Amino acid sequence: MRLAHWAVNAPFRPLLLAVLTSSFILPAQAADLVNITRDALNNNAALASARAEFSSVEAASDVASGALLPQVNASGNVVHNQQYESQSSSRGGQSAGAASNADGGGVGDDRYNTASLKLEATQALFNVVTREEVNQAERQIDQQVYLLAATEQQLLIDVATAYFDILRAHEVLEARLAQERAIGRQLEQAQEQFEVGLIAITEVEEARASFDQSRADRIAGESNLQVAFEVLEQLTGQRYANIDALGDSMPIALPSPTDRNYWVEQAIERNPQVLAQQAGIELSRVGVELARAGRMPTVQAFANYQYSDSDSDLVSGYNTSSQVGVSANLPIYTGGSTSARIRQGTFQLESSQYDFESQRRTTIQQVRSLYTQVSNNVDTVEARQQAIVSNRSALEATRAGYEVGTRNIVDVLNAEQNLYNAIANYAEARYDYVVNLLSLRQQAGLLDVEAIEEVNAWLTGDEVNFTLPESGDPDAYQRAMDIGAPPTPGA
């Protein structure tokens, strides 16, 4: 029965095994996506709990099947007996107690010891209830395999999302720092021009407002980076000084195959959440059969041996007996509880069928949406990249117009903000593409070690330091970026 269980769930065994063995047994090196994923698989508390739950369900199957095997019990006791009598004898008025104890002897003994031993063995010959309980335990293992696979895949996508959220926040923060520096220089120039009477105070205030906004954007970027870092630490239980960056040569292409129906079909066949709900239907169906089995008779063979001994004056020697036979039990009326259990199981089966259909529809919708998002991300990345070129050209033209007096400082500040917003948006689009592509594979049940390693190959090996300064010095990060070195706590 256990072999059948592994055969049914064979498609998920490579994930469960490969994730834990050769694919992630690597020497310690710079923190990239593979190494961090390995740390998460080894240290994540939620995954460890799911694995323990899986082992518990496996053990429950052995518990249930044990009832079909021979049962042997032994029992025994040693008893000290003491009798108190007040009865009178019809001969000579002597009490029975006195007669029994005259000269230390007599016809009886009011203090004696007894010992007994019983050995009993039973073997179930026909027990539908126990057989269905074993079947139910096996179906629970089938479902738990899929739930564990779903937990592992969810951890893979969570780690990848947290990893790229850090890189996303880092690139956005760099854009905000560059924006703050550029607008800061513009503010300095405006102040100098105002002091010599070339511009009005309103232009200085416009520049100052833009600078304050850029500084607020930079502070928010620092916060986002720190939050992203904390998420990764929660998933892995580790802190990292730096991680590998995503290369500019990362391929941006449609999901392969490009047929959306292929991804939907894969999700229906392989998504572990869908398969877990499908296994839940079988589990509920077995529950109905288990309830119906309560009306069936049970038959068992038994054998027992009994031994007893006593040191009483009235009894000498020992006594033994043995029995071998077959016993049967047929429930005739159980107060309606059996019928109630059957109705309960039927409703649970109906509920599990609706749960499966709901999960199937949800998965199909998510796959279709993610496929559309990835397809749009491909075009968006290209458009965002071109927007950087266009906004840089617009900024240069606006600055030239400002120099000759055809543009004012507000135009320059807006052009500055547009350029750095375009840079930040480009970073957002690239990481949206990567995360959505991995999410599509997860919903299709195709997120595995190989998918993580494929994305890991897009990393450049250039280390990105994301250690933030302590909150007591909010400008330490900016000063560190200005001199081209990563900030350190307390700098």
Burial of 137 per CB tally in 10 Å (0-12, 13-18, 19+):
buried
In the prediction, which pLDDT does 6 show? 36
Nearest to 420 by CA among 140, 115, 172: 172
Lowest average pLDDT, out of 159-168, 196-205, 287-296, 312-321, goes to 312-321
Tell me the torsion sign for CA atoms 372, 374, 377, 382.
negative
Asked if 253 and 381 touch (Cβ cutoff 8 Å), the reply is: no
36 pLDDT exceeds 90? Answer: yes
Percent of the residues in the chain that have a pLDDT greater than 70, as a whole number? 83
Which residue's entry shows tokens 């050209």? 393
Lowest average pLDDT, out of 13-17, 48-52, 314-318, 373-377, goes to 13-17
How many residues belong to the chain?
491
- Give the tokens for residue 265: 């079909």
Give the mean model confidence (pLDDT) for residues 134-139: 94
Distance of CA 472 to the CA centre of its chain: 37
In the prediction, which pLDDT does 129 show? 93
How far apart are the C-alpha atoms of 242 and 463, rounded to whole Å?
6
Start-end of H helices in 333-408: 337-404
Distance of CA 110 to the CA centre of its chain: 69
- In a 13 Å sphere around the CA of 77, the CA atoms on its Cβ side amount to 5
In the prediction, which pLDDT does 16 show? 42
In the prediction, which pLDDT does 84 show? 78
Beta bridge partners of 77: 116
In the prediction, which pLDDT does 12 show? 52
Lowest average pLDDT, out of 202-206, 318-322, 438-442, 472-476, goes to 472-476
Nearest to 145 by CA among 50, 60, 65: 50
252 pLDDT exceeds 50? Answer: yes
Residue type, 280: G
In the prediction, which pLDDT does 88 show? 56
Residue type, 360: R
> 122: helix, coil or strand?
strand
| Residue 38 CB neighbours (<10 A) | 20
Give the mean model confidence (pLDDT) for residues 281-309: 94
User: Could you tell me where the beta strands, DSSP code E, fall in 128-275?
Assistant: 242-246
Give the mean model confidence (pLDDT) for residues 381-407: 92
In the prediction, which pLDDT does 409 show? 86
**Residue 282 CB contacts under 8 Å (≥ 6 apart), including other chains:** 139, 142
In the prediction, which pLDDT does 484 show? 35
* pLDDT tens sequence across 336-360: 999 999 999 999 999 999 999 999 9
488 pLDDT exceeds 50? Answer: no
Burial of 138 per CB tally in 10 Å (0-12, 13-18, 19+):
buried
In the prediction, which pLDDT does 382 show? 94
| Mean of the per-residue pLDDT values of the chain | 84
Lowest average pLDDT, out of 160-174, 314-328, 356-370, goes to 314-328
How far apart are the C-alpha atoms of 419 and 417, rounded to whole Å?
5
- In a 13 Å sphere around the CA of 387, the CA atoms on its Cβ side amount to 19
Asked if 57 and 127 touch (Cβ cutoff 8 Å), the reply is: no
In the prediction, which pLDDT does 10 show? 46
In terms of average pLDDT, the best of 142-156, 222-236, 247-261 is: 142-156
In the prediction, which pLDDT does 310 show? 85
In the prediction, which pLDDT does 37 show? 94
In the prediction, which pLDDT does 197 show? 84
In the prediction, which pLDDT does 311 show? 81
- Give the tokens for residue 292: 């119906």
**Confidence class for position 466, pLDDT limits 50, 70, 90:** low
| C-alpha distance from residue 67 to each of 5, 130, 139 (Å) | 20, 7, 17
> 84: helix, coil or strand?
coil
- Give the tokens for residue 470: 């302590």
| Residue 19 CB neighbours (<10 A) | 21
In the prediction, which pLDDT does 97 show? 46
Both ends of the chain: CA-CA distance in Å? 64
How far apart are the C-alpha atoms of 426 and 385, rounded to whole Å?
6
Report helix, strand and coil shares of the chain as percent, to nearest 5: 65, 15, 20
In the prediction, which pLDDT does 242 show? 85
In the prediction, which pLDDT does 50 show? 95
Beta bridge partners of 115: 78, 309
In the prediction, which pLDDT does 347 show? 97
In the prediction, which pLDDT does 86 show? 61
Helix and strand totals (H; E) in the chain = 13, 6
| C-alpha distance from residue 178 to each of 143, 183, 410, 423 (Å) | 52, 9, 18, 10
Asked if 12 and 54 touch (Cβ cutoff 8 Å), the reply is: no
- Give the tokens for residue 23: 């694919």
70 pLDDT exceeds 50? Answer: yes
CA angle 150–155–159, rounded 5-degree value: 150
Give the mean model confidence (pLDDT) for residues 63-92: 82
In the prediction, which pLDDT does 8 show? 43
**Confidence class for position 249, pLDDT limits 50, 70, 90:** confident
Percent of the residues in the chain that have a pLDDT greater than 90, as a whole number? 63
In the prediction, which pLDDT does 107 show? 47
Contacts 24+ apart (CB under 8 A), 277-282: 277/352, 277/355, 277/356, 277/359, 277/360, 278/356, 279/139, 279/142, 279/143, 279/146, 280/143, 280/352, 280/355, 280/356, 281/349, 281/352, 281/353, 281/356, 282/139, 282/142
Classify the phi-psi angles of 310: left when phi > 0, otherwise alpha if psi is within -120 to 50, otherwise beta. Answer: beta
